[in-house]
Amino acid sequence: MGVTSAARSDRPSRPAVLAIDAGNSKTDAALIAADGTVLGTGRAGGFQPQRTGTGAALDVLGKAVAEAAEAASLPLPAPGAPYADQVSACLANADLPVEERQLAEAIGARGWGAATEVFNDTFAILRAGLTGAGPPCGVAVVCGAGINCVGMRPDGRTARFPALGQLSGDWGGGGGLAAEALWWAARAEDGRGGTTELAAALPGHFGLDSMAELIEALHLGALAQRRTHELVPVLFSVAAAGDRVASALVERQADEVVALASVALARLDLLDEEAPVLLGGGVLTAGHEQLDGRIAAGLARRAPHARVSVVAAPPVLGAGLLGLDALGALPGAQGKLRAHFG
C-alpha cells in the first residue's frame, strides 16, 4: 500500500478512526477522518502473537501506526492523548472471542484510541464486501494461508468457527493445500500411492529432479518451509491439466468453502433469504476456474439464495468501515473511504 497523505488544512485535530488490518505476513494501518478521508497509511510486518508474544506482536502494529501518523503529519500524542477516537483492529490469530477481548485490552493499554474494538481478520473481508452503512449482514469465507468463515446479522448475532486448523476440524487454505500436495506427491514417487503429475511438478518448481530431493531440502533447511506456499499455484495448474489427484484436492477445497458458508448461513437463519456470501484471501481471489465453478455449483445446491462475490479490496478497508460504523458515521463517509481504496 505504501505511505500516503492528503491535504489536511480543514481536518479535525484528531482522526476519527485508526484502522488496522494485521495478517501473518503484513500489517496495514490507516488514519481516517470522520468524513471518510484517509489521512495517512502505514505498513509493517506480520502479526503473530502466538510465536513472538503479545508485546512484540503489538510493537509490529505500533510501527504501522507510527508510519500512518507520520504520513498524516500528526505529532506524537501527549501521554494519555490518543491518535484517534476509535481503534478498529482486524487481526489474524485472534481466532476466539476470548483472544479478541485480550487483544483489545492490550491494544487499549497502548493508548492509540479513545475506544478499541478487535475482530478476527475475517470480519474485515465481510465488512469490506458489503456496501452501505450499518451493521453487516452476510457471510464471508477467507481462504489464504488458512481458512475461516464468519457471518453477522444486523441484530448482532454472529456465526463463526475457531479456525485453529486440524484441532478444530478445518481443512485447506494455502498451507493445508501445499501440505496435501506434498503428501500425495511423496507417496506417488515411492510407490505407496497412485500416480500424479505432482510428483514431478512440485520439485520441478524449485529446480529439483525428484520428491526425494525436495523432501531432503525441506527437512535439512536448504529450502525454507515458508516457500511451500509457492506450491499452491502449481497444484492448481496440475489440476487444470486434468490430473486426478490434484483435481480431487481442488474439489475438496471447494467443498470445504461451501460447507463453511452454508453452515454459517443456516446458523443465522439466512438460508431462505437472499444473503451475500463474500469470498476473500489469495486462494479464492486468484480466479481458479475449477475451484470457482465447484463453489458456485455447491452453493447453488445448498444455499440457492446466496449471492456470491469475490472481495478484492484490501482488508484494511473493512477495518475502517467497522470503525466508522461504531462511531455512527454518515453513509457518505463510507463511500469516500471505499473510493480511496478502489
Ordered mean pLDDT values, 10 residues apiece, the chain (342 residues): 42 83 94 97 94 95 95 76 94 94 96 96 94 78 94 92 94 96 98 97 98 98 96 98 98 98 97 95 95 97 96 95 92 93 86
| Contacts of 24 by beta carbon, 8 Å cutoff, 6+ apart | 46, 47, 48, 92, 93, 145
Give 7-18 as a DSSP string. Answer: --TTS-SS-SEE
pTM for the model: 0.89
| Contacts of 239 by beta carbon, 8 Å cutoff, 6+ apart | 246, 247, 249, 250, 290
**Calpha distance 103→114 (Å, rounded):** 15
pLDDT at 13 (0 to 100): 65
pLDDT at 79 (0 to 100): 64
